[in-house]
Amino acid sequence: MLSLGAAVRTRRIKTVFIRLAGLGVLAIVLGFGLFLWLLPNEEVSLDRNADGIVVLTGGTSRVTDGLELLAAGRGKRLLITGVNPGTTTGDIARQVSDYGRLLSCCVDLDYSALNTLGNAVEARRWAVDRGFHSLIIVTSAYHMPRALAEIAHQLPDVTLVPFPVVSDRLRIEPWWSNGATTRLVLSEYFKFLFAQVRMRFDSVAVETEKNYRLSAIEAFRMC
C-alpha cells in the first residue's frame, strides 16, 4: 500500500502528464489551423523571375504549369524531379506538344527521388551544380508547405518562390466536405510535422553550407 507521500507524488506526476498531453494536443490542433490557413485556395500570379524552376511530380498539371513558367521566361532551366523510370522528355513532349523545343533544350529529369526528401536532395544537387540562387517551386497546394520546408533545409541560402497548383476539388469544396480530401490534408499535415522534427536533427544544412564554401574556394583558385 502506498504511503501518503508516495500517493501525492504519483498524483502530481499524473497531473503533470495530463497537462503536458493536453498542451501537446492543443499545439497540434493550433498547428493544423495554421497549416490550413497557409494553404492557398487559388493559383498565384508571380511577380518575379528566378534562376531555375523545380517541379515535384505527383499531379497531372504540375509539369504543364512548370513548362508554362519556363516558356514565359520565369526561369532559365527546369528540373522535373521524381519522374518514373523510363519516362523521357520525348514522352512528355507527346503529351504537351507545344513545349517540345523547351523539353529538348532546357529541361532536366530526375529519376532517383522517391519522396519529398528525395526531391529536395535532387533540387539541391541541381541548383548547386548550376550555381542557381533562386528557384520557383511548383507542386500541389496541400504539398507546398512540406516541399518548401524540405528544400529550404537543403538550400538555406537559396530564395524559394512558391507556385502552388490548386486542384479543382480544393478550389470548389471545403476540405472537410470530402472524405478523400480530408484524409489527404490530415496526412500531409502530419507528414509536415514529422519532417519538421526530423530536420531538427539533420545536419544537411551545415553540410550544404560547407559545400558552398568549398565550391567558392575552388572557383577562386581556378581564377
27-45 pLDDT tens trace: 777 777 777 777 776 777 8
The pLDDT confidence band at residue 13, using thresholds 50, 70 and 90, is confident
Bridge partners for 161 per DSSP = 136
pLDDT at 220 over 60: no
Mean pLDDT confidence for 147-161: 95
The pLDDT confidence band at residue 1, using thresholds 50, 70 and 90, is low
In the chain, % of residues over pLDDT 90 = 39
In the chain, % of residues over pLDDT 70 = 79
Question: DSSP string covering 119-152, please?
Answer: HHHHHHHHHHHHT--EEEEEEEGGGHHHHHHHHH
Q: Nearest to residue 10, comparing CAs of 32, 1, 168? A: 1
Please name the amino acid found at residue 170: L
Mean pLDDT confidence for 173-197: 81
pLDDT at 183 over 80: yes
Are 169 and 161 spatial neighbours (Cβ–Cβ below 8 Å)? no
65-110 tens-digit pLDDT = 999 999 999 999 999 999 999 888 888 888 887 888 899 899 999 9
The residue assigned the cell 472537410 is 176
Are 99 and 131 spatial neighbours (Cβ–Cβ below 8 Å)? no
**How many Cα atoms occupy the beta-carbon half-sphere of 129 within 13 Å?**
9
pLDDT at 175 over 70: no
CB atoms within 10 A of CB 149: 17
C-alpha span between 164 and 190 (Å, rounded) = 19
Q: Nearest to residue 81, comparing CAs of 123, 50, 53, 117? A: 123
Q: What is the pLDDT of residue 159?
A: 96
